[in-house]
Amino acid sequence: MARVVVDVMPKPEILDPQGKAVLGALPRLGFSGVTDVRQGKRFELELEGEPSEELLDQARRMAQTLLSNPVIEDFHVTLVDS
Amino acid sequence: MRVGVVTFPGSLDDVDAARAVRLAGHESVALWHGDHDLQGVDAVILPGGFSYGDYLRCGAISRFAPVMTEVVAGAQRGLPVLGICNGFQILCESHLLPGALIRNDHRKFVCRDQRLRLDNTDTVWTSAYSPGAEITVVLKNGEGAFVADQETLDRLEGEGRVVARYLGGNPNGSLHDIAGIANDAGNVVGLMPHPEHAVEDLCGPGIDGLGFFTSLLETVEGRVGAS
């Protein structure tokens, strides 16, 4: 088995209202000095087979097709030790 | 005309859309998300709602519903397709329309009567309106802000593909006040506000929305007659 993590983040130029909401809430809780918050998604995929470049490619295709919307989001695929 | 209205799990406005279709003089045909079948309809409406619970992203999972394979193929052949609200989101996720719809910039759900200006009345869904017509329909969305990169926006503006624009203030942060757009052929239109909720005086802000459904008659039957 291989574990692949896909991180999906809104593109820098796309407004992130959820991140803005978190940014607004932090000072109210006494956390000062936070200048920006961006909120994204993390997917943990368990894939059959040994870790390989091929598996990573498969995960990239999943990220491209379903897990992210390339119009508004960037993604990053990482193989992790499971 | 036979106009199909797709029901996804979580669709809300399929019944209203079907009623608007009938009030405009068409036959409404119920289409099911799980079928690879458009039942030979002459046009398709993807209604509003929260298909698949808006999980992942609005419209992201609906895009891969079996019926969407047929809708995408039909749209590419010229089949008229109207996506309203969640339907607009599905059309963007399906790449039948450019851009994407993200959370309202003020983060609140909006539900109100909304004035619009129709900037493109050459599409099969807007031909019943006079150019520049101002109408009032219902707007209700949480993720209705239309975004696209500058190149896409320039192309939409340059080709006159912005179908409707918000008037009286931007309700959700949509770039260029965009409420609706069309594909380059004009057969696919996505609209964030709900014309199907403005088709009867008894409920809703008037009947300004009916034109989206009567437009079909003029354009599509006109073309059938001419061919």
> Is A38 in the B-facing interface, judged by CB distances under 8 Å?
no
> Would you tell me which residues 92-151 of chain B have a C-beta closer than 8 angstroms to some C-beta of chain A?
92-93, 98-100, 102-107, 145, 147-149
pLDDT confidence of B221, banded at 50, 70, 90? low
Give the pLDDT mean for B188-200: 98
Binary contact (A71, B148; C-beta < 8 A)? yes
Give the pLDDT mean for B5-29: 97
pLDDT higher than threshold 50 for residue B227: no
How far does chain A reach from its first CA to its final CA, in angstroms?
8
Give the pLDDT mean for B135-156: 97
Per-residue pLDDT of chain A (82 residues; tens, 9 = 90+): 899 999 999 999 999 999 999 999 999 999 999 999 999 999 999 999 999 999 999 999 999 999 999 999 999 999 997 6
User: Per the residue annotation, which of B58, B85, B143, B197 is the catalytic one?
Assistant: B85
pLDDT digits (tens, 9 = 90+) for B201-213: 998 899 999 999 9
Q: What is the DSSP letter of B4?
A: E
**For chain A, how big is the Rg over CA atoms in Å?**
16
| Residues A15, B100: Cα–Cα separation, whole Å | 12
Whether ipTM tops 0.90, in short, is no
B111 an active-site residue? no
> Is A67 in the B-facing interface, judged by CB distances under 8 Å?
yes
Tell the burial category of B103 from Cβ atoms under 10 Å away from its Cβ (0-12, 13-18, 19+): buried
Binary contact (A71, B105; C-beta < 8 A)? no
pLDDT confidence of B220, banded at 50, 70, 90? low
Give this prediction's pTM.
0.93
B85 an active-site residue? yes
B92 an active-site residue? no
pLDDT confidence of B226, banded at 50, 70, 90? very low
**For chain B, how big is the Rg over CA atoms in Å?**
16
